[in-house]
Amino acid sequence: SGTRLSAKACMMIAKDLGLRYLPALLKPMLKAIVVDLDHTLYRGVLGEDGIEKIEVSKAYLSFQKQLKDFANQGFFICIASKNEKQDVEKLLDQRKDFLIKKEDFSLICASWEEKSSMIEKIADFLNIHVDSILFIDDNIGEILSVLAKYPDIHVIQASENPQITNTILANYPGLMKLSIQKED
């Protein structure tokens, strides 16, 4: 390319331009991020391990902080989880080490119904189309089930390593706001 920049610097610039800036200029903005809980927001299974035994590493806290930052930018943050709702609310109230709290979520859908039904409830509640939702879940079966009903939804499969999920979320097209308005 004839530039004085290193190949690594060119890759970083291309990634930022292609994944963040150009989509922010040319594509519609996403409006909501819907997350699963077990092995996505923390390590463990709430219904089996209980509130005290689920693990929250620095990487999971970083993921929670990033979600909270998106909420502060005006994105709706919601939960779609196959857990008992009272257990989820108790978890968010009792775990003082969580950076994200119950009040940071626009809607909590926790039940044993299909996640596609939860996504539908969230979209109806927020009065948005499903194509402006990003769904994050560790279970590929749940992701495929949601995609079967809503092929236009955006998805991220949460990695066992939450730092990888963090990196994907930070660079996901449609989540960069060039300016934040009052209504946000």
Query: DSSP states of the chain as a string?
Result: ---SS-HHHHHHHHHHIIIIIHHHHHSPPP-EEEE--BTTTBBS-HHHH-TTTSB--HHHHHHHHHHHHHHHTT-EEEEEESS-HHHHHHHHHH-TT-SS-GGG-SEEEESSS-HHHHHHHHHHHHT--GGGEEEEES-HHHHHHHHHH-TTSEEEEPPSSHHHHHHHHHT-TT---SS--TT-
Averaged pLDDT for residues 158-177: 90
Q: What does pTM read for this prediction? A: 0.86
Model confidence band, residue 77 (pLDDT cutoffs 50, 70, 90): very high
Model confidence band, residue 128 (pLDDT cutoffs 50, 70, 90): very high
Please tell me the number of Cα atoms within 13 Å of 127 on its side-chain side.
Answer: 0
Residue 1's pLDDT is what? 59
Q: What is the mean pLDDT of the chain?
A: 90
Sorted by sequence, the CB contacts under 8 Å of residue 84 that are 6+ apart come out as: 47, 110, 111
| Token digits of residue 46 | 């709430």
Averaged pLDDT for residues 90-99: 93
Averaged pLDDT for residues 30-45: 95
Averaged pLDDT for residues 96-104: 93
Residue 39's pLDDT is what? 95
Residue 24's pLDDT is what? 62
Ranked by mean pLDDT, which of 25-39, 42-56, 146-160 comes out on top? 146-160
Cβ pair 29, 173 in contact under 8 A: no
